[in-house]
Homo-oligomer: A and B are copies of this chain.
Amino acid sequence: MAATIKDVAAAAGVGIATVSRVFSGNGPVGAATRERVLAAARALDYRPSAAARSLKTRGAAGIGLVLPGLDDPFAAELAEGVLAGARDHGEHVLLDVSGGDPAREAAAAARFAEQRVDGIVAVPAAATPADAAAWADVARACGVVFADRVLPGAAGIPSVLADDAAGVRVLVEYLAGLGHRRVAFLGAAAPGAAPGVRERAFRAALREAGADERDAVAVPARPNRDSAYAAAAGLLQSRADVTAVVASGHLLGEAAVLVARELDLRVPGDVSIAMVDDVPWAELCDPPLTAVARPARLMGQRACDLLLRDRARRPAAPAPLPAELVVRGSCGPPRQARGPR
């Protein structure tokens, strides 16, 4: 159906090698010949086959991008960064989302590897050793770079990270400076599980600010809307002694705002709220939400660079990218305890 290089060669009365040279720009071609070839190609609506080309040259197969979902503004912005990075390198991007399901994630990665992508950028949802093994398997076929996550079992796969610890520390220092002592961390690890970097940074910073061990209130939550809401409701209903809430993600921040409104708590009058991840609606809240902004776009771009440019001397743990505290109106001095206990 579609015209091939052979058709063009015949139409222009030249050899196929010449047509190839015209389009790939490799060898020398006479000006008149080139014109004739171009005209024939236009007439036939010829477009070179990327499949044949990449079969022959084993080049430019694109890079794969695997995300939990696009509904998260952080992920979306990271994706735009990857897109920008890929464009800089003249590569295209294959996208798939996992919906947080490690099985779908592994399937997507395997599929990309089969497409002979030059590399894969992923925000993995995986957590179990089996998942990590699947990723290690993929990494043997093509380069893999994680963004915003580290996967314990998958040694040798570098991660591009934001400096969450520093961001949380600055946020806690800010709250402590306002006078808060009893602060809750919304989105802690389940009891017994190892706490993440954000939770550890939270505890350390609060201790450094002179707070008691019991002042650090850790509220576990799993990363979905319902769990976030339940956690926020449980916290704000039962712990009237807490004067500030640090939400470990925008889903949790959203839940905290919603619950506070339903309980008729004033922000920041009754309780101060801040969160990690600066999303567009943080500005639209009333009051606008103080947040730790993480450079999502830059992270995507860096992941691309790591994959495509620094493939030789790929550092296992590149320096984390700076996170920045964006102060808005949702935090203020603490009021007296709201009730007993």
| A69 lies within 8 A of chain B by Cβ | yes
Instruction: Please give the number of chain A residues whose Cβ is less than 8 angstroms from any Cβ of chain B in the complex.
Output: 47
Shortest distance from the beta carbon of A227 to any chain B beta carbon, whole Å? 17
Contact A95 B76 (CB under 8 A): no
Q: Is the CB of B50 within 8 A of A114?
A: yes
B114 near A47 (CB under 8 angstroms)? yes
Q: CB of A252 within 8 A of chain B?
A: no
Contact A51 B48 (CB under 8 A): no
A281: B residues at CB distance < 8 A: 280-281, 284
A112 and B111 CA atoms in complex are apart in Å by 19
Chain copies in the assembly? Answer: 2
Give chain B residues whose Cβ lies under 8 Å from the Cβ of A62: 94
Interface string of A45-82 (1 = CB under 8 A from B): 10111111011000001100100011101001101100
| Cross-interface CB contact of A286 among B111, B113, B280, B286, cutoff 8 Å | B286
Asked whether A92 and B115 contact (CB < 8 A) given A45-B140, A51-B54, A54-B51, the answer is yes
Alpha-carbon distance A71/B47, docked complex (angstroms): 32
Contact B70 A79 (CB under 8 A): yes
List 5 interface pairs A-B (beta carbons < 8 Å), by A numbering. Answer: A2-B116, A65-B95, A69-B80, A79-B95, A92-B96
Question: 10 closest A-B pairs (Cβ-Cβ)?
Answer: A281-B281, A70-B76, A51-B55, A95-B95, A50-B115, A286-B286, A51-B54, A47-B114, A51-B51, A52-B55
